Amino acid sequence: MRRERPLIAIDGPVGAGKSTVAQRLARVLGCEYVNTGAMYRAVAVAARAAGISADDREAEPKLDALLKAARIDFLDGRISLDGRDISAEIGSPEVGESASRLSTLAVVRARMRDLQRAAGARGGVVMEGRDIGTAVFPDAEFKFFLDAGAEVRAERRWRELAARGVAITREQVLAQLHERDRRDRGRELAPLRPAPDAIVVDASRVGVEEVVALMAQRVRARGGAA
Ligand code: DC
């Protein structure tokens, strides 16, 4: 099925500023915003409530059953699990870590991919994640890969967490970030990497406003705006 409007994929590692950039770009272009990291985080919340961990021997069949029964809804940056808004709860470093572990499993990736494809089917969506341009929508009209050095990303992430009152040091954030990078880039299924046709943007050098302006310009130049 042809999309009526473009699908804009923004992939990149933790802390590169994807969420801020993707949300603003969606607003500028009059598109919907979908945060796929939040969906994996919702899975982590559901798995924890059900007592399932990624290392369990029977993790895959248990998660398969759990995800078939669970209802994950997302709209305008809010996310709910079985009707309960879990947007605040999913922001913790523990949930992020658990989401990263669970995201290595095939059943989880398959289920998320189906949800994401349904969410983007008609286009007019800015979708951020790790594998949107490579695995979920390899045919996306626009693909951006937002990257930045580990120190810059750790600093940004630490500020975000500190602003939310999470007690954590910069060093701890940097160590967690290295670990998450290693897992997200090294996993077997849909590892984090730029699609061959992605435009790579280095967010260490350019500020958020500039990044958004650059992306919006690319989209409009090809007639992709609303
Ligand atoms: O973007 P985030 O930090 O909220 O994502 C949490 C984890 O979810 C991330 O470490 C890996 C996984 N993830 C993924 O595997 N694929 C995506 N498209 C988005 C997130």
- pLDDT of amino acid 37: 94
* Structural domain of 34: 7-217
First CA to last CA across the chain, in angstroms? Answer: 19
Per the structure, how many domains does the chain have? Answer: 1
Q: Say how far residue 204 (Cα) sits from the centre of its chain.
A: 19
In a domain, 133, yes or no: yes
Ligand 1 centroid to Cα of residue 214, in Å, is: 24
In a domain, 2, yes or no: no
Q: Report the pLDDT averaged over residues 36-48.
A: 96
How many other C-beta atoms lie within 10 A of the C-beta of residue 169? Answer: 10
The yes-or-no verdict on residue 76 having pLDDT over 80 is no
Site to probe by mutation for ligand 1, drawn from 7, 18, 40 as the one with most ligand atoms within 8 Å of Cβ, is 40
- pLDDT of amino acid 225: 59
Q: Whose CA is nearest to atom 7 of ligand 1?
A: 100
Fill in the DSSP letter of residue 198.
P
In a domain, 226, yes or no: no
pLDDT-based confidence at residue 1 (cuts at 50, 70, 90): low
Which distant-in-sequence residues (6+ apart) come within 8 Å of 139 by Cβ? 7
145 CB less than 6 Å from ligand 1?
no
In a domain, 43, yes or no: yes
- pLDDT of amino acid 217: 96
Q: Whose CA is nearest to atom 12 of ligand 1?
A: 100
What tens digit of pLDDT does each residue of 11-23 get? 999 999 999 999 9
Which distant-in-sequence residues (6+ apart) come within 8 Å of 28 by Cβ? 212, 216
pLDDT-based confidence at residue 5 (cuts at 50, 70, 90): very high
Instruction: Give the separation between CA 11 and CA 205, rounded to whole angstroms.
Output: 17
Ligand 1 centroid to Cα of residue 41, in Å, is: 8
In a domain, 123, yes or no: yes
Q: Determine the 3-state secondary structure of 161 from DSSP.
A: helix
pLDDT above 90 covers what percent of the chain? 86
* Cβ-based burial of 146 (10 A; exposed 0-12, middle 13-18, buried ≥19): buried
Q: Specify the CATH number for the domain of residue 26.
A: 3.40.50.300
Instruction: Give the separation between CA 221 and CA 205, rounded to whole angstroms.
Output: 23
